[in-house]
Amino acid sequence: MKTLKTSLLLSIIFFAHASFTKLPGKDDFYIVVSKSNYTMNIYDAENAFVVSYPVTFGNSDQSDKMYEGDRRTPEGTFHIAAKRVHPKWNRFMAIDYPNAESYRKFNQRKANGEIPANAKIGGSIGIHGTWPREDFAVDEHQNWTEGCVSTKNDYVQEIYSQLPVGTRVEIIP
């Protein structure tokens, strides 16, 4: 029942801010993921708070992604690059990691000797659901991904249905 109420409220909020002649565009809303608060907040184009969802990440080390395989979630400004139904994680919204800023940080860290010389930057980072019947991982802040942002399956379906490719995603410490 709570999910139905949340879905209804989210739909009302989204459509109250959007024209009745079109679905929300890529610049109508944006996402802010706070790693320290385990939250994903959605704001409208006027910076008004819309809704918040609980999330989990990869490694419990909340620092910025350094290289492929570290299971850390990258920090920075990204965009939803693609969306697809996923057989394991319900829905998957890929973000455009690595982007130019990600490469700049990666190359600087390599030059400073902070990461191995043979390290790769990685990719395939996104926002997705949980394994079937494992939404409890979100409630318990169990970081389990390879660096992605994970939320409950009902929540990722709501976001997936409302936010288009191109939507800005800010991931902060």
Res 16: pLDDT: 43
pLDDT > 90 fraction of the chain, expressed in percent and rounded: 80
Judge whether 93 and 80 are in contact, CB under 8 Å: yes
**pTM (two decimals):** 0.86
Gap between the Cα atoms of 1 and 34, Å rounded: 27
Range of the domain at 26: 2-172
Report the distance separating Cα 74 and Cα 37, nearest Å: 15
The pLDDT tens digits of the residues spanning 96-133 come to 999 999 999 999 999 999 999 999 999 999 999 999 99
Query: How many domains does the structure of the chain reveal?
Result: 1
- List C-alpha distances in Å: 96 to 42, 73, 153: 18, 13, 22
Q: Which domain CATH number covers 160?
A: 2.40.440.10
Element (H or E) spanning 17, and its range? helix 2-17
Residue 6: both structure tokens together? 């949340």
List pLDDT tens digits, range 131-172: 999 999 999 999 999 999 999 999 999 999 999 999 999 999
- Rg of the chain taking only CA atoms, in angstroms: 16
Q: Tell me, what's the pLDDT at 25?
A: 83
| Sequence-ordered strand ranges (E) for the chain | 29-34, 39-44, 49-54, 76-86, 90-95, 126-128, 149-150, 168-172
Q: What is the C-alpha separation between 101 and 6, in angstroms, rounded?
A: 35
